[in-house]
Amino acid sequence: MSSKTEKLLSLLDGQPVIPVLKIEEAAHAVPLARALAKGGLRVIEITLRTGVALESIRRVIGEVEDAVVGAGTILDARQFEEAAHAGSKFIVSPGVTRELLAAAGDSPVPLLPGAITPGEIMMAREAGLDFLKFFPAEQAGGAAFLKALASPFAGIRFCPTGGITTANARDYLGLPNVICVGGSWVAPDAMVKAGDWAGIEKLAREAAGMK
Ligand SMILES: O=C(O)C(=O)C[C@H](O)[C@H](O)COP(=O)(O)O
């Protein structure tokens, strides 16, 4: 196992589900992260899919002591640098590129890159990465596909993300090559918009108890 994977696994600390968050209003970031942490999901991924993502990352780091904040939807080296500079503890990307792998190689911040095909997995492996995001999990072939990757890629472990809910999370978490899953279901847009933090805490508690 690479030392950066060890670092990432120690941040995860056995948490079975990483909430994937798309924050539309910076004011939601802190109460949302608090609700998730209270429910047992301290490690969160804030995606760079909105204009307030970096500001949200900074706010949560500054105000929610027990949160462990990563940045998601990182597409290139520039975004990697911005997210790392904002204080992200880990970086998640939907796929692998040479540019991103080089940026990650130069940084102490661990990268969890997306990979689906054997070729993509081998590219990440060559860069020394052995913990990958399997994205989009359900759409690409689901738990059966991931299970088939276990024999040729014995040393590689995954965080499946995409189309995962309470209904199928356990299908993935039961596989020997899965460490955790990612998903947006623990923070539905409507609940965030309505400020239903108690409801989100409840969803988080259910997810945190999954392994
Ligand atoms: O932007 C990214 O980096 C992503 O990871 C894309 C998706 O938002 C997540 O995979 C969550 O997917 P759902 O749980 O199906 O909503």
Q: Is 20 in the pocket of ligand 1 (CB under 6 A)?
A: yes
CA distance 158 to 29: 27
Instruction: Find out whether the beta carbon of 164 lies less than 6 Å from any atom of ligand 1.
Output: yes
pLDDT of residue 211: 73
DSSP class of residue 162 equals S
Q: What is the pLDDT of residues 93-134, one digit of tens each?
A: 999 999 999 999 999 999 999 999 999 999 999 999 999 999
Ligand 1 atom nearest residue 92's Cα: 3
DSSP 94: S
Q: What is the spatial distance between Cα 50 and Cα 157, in angstroms, rounded to a whole number?
A: 29
Q: What angle do CA 98, 101, 106 make, to 5 degrees?
A: 125
Of 66, 35, 46, nearest to 196 (Cα)?
35
User: Is the beta carbon of 91 within 6 A of some atom in ligand 1?
Assistant: no
Write down the pLDDT at residue 113: 98
- Alpha helices, DSSP H, located in 127-182: 137-140, 142-149, 169-173
- Burial of 32-45, coded b for 16+ CB within 10 Å and e otherwise, reads bbbbbbbbbbbbbb
8 A C-beta contact, residue 17 and residue 186: yes
**Overall pTM surpassing 0.95 (yes/no):** yes
pLDDT given at position 128: 94
Task: Give residue 47 CA to ligand 1 midpoint distance, Å.
Answer: 9
Query: How does pLDDT run across 152-205, given as a tens digit for each residue?
Result: 999 999 999 999 999 999 999 999 999 999 999 999 999 999 999 999 999 999
* CA of 38 relative to ligand 1 center, distance in Å: 22
Closest C-alpha to ligand 1, atom 6: 162
Pocket test for ligand 1, best of 74, 135, 166 (most atoms within 8 A of CB): 135
Identify whether 141 is part of a domain: yes
The separation between the first and the last C-alpha atoms of the chain, rounded to the nearest angstrom, is 22
Model confidence over 25-60: pLDDT tens digits? 999 999 999 999 999 999 999 999 999 999 999 999
Q: Is the CB of 94 under 6 A from ligand 1?
A: yes
- Supply the CATH number for residue 61's domain: 3.20.20.70
Q: Does any domain span residue 211?
A: no
133 is catalytic: yes
**Residue labelled with tokens 């918009």:** 193
144 is a domain residue: yes
82 is catalytic: no
Is 127 inside a domain boundary?
yes
Catalytic residue among 4, 133, 138, 201: 133
Q: Is residue 106 part of a domain?
A: yes
User: In this structure, is residue 210 part of a structural domain?
Assistant: no
Residue 79 falls within a domain, yes or no? Answer: yes
Domain range for 139 is 3-205
Task: Please tell me the total count of domains within the chain.
Answer: 1
Tell whether 171 is covered by a domain.
Answer: yes
Beta-strand ranges (E) seen in the chain are 17-21, 43-47, 68-72, 90-93, 111-113, 131-134, 157-160, 181-183
Prediction ipTM score: 0.93
84 close to 109: Cβ distance less than 8 angstroms: yes
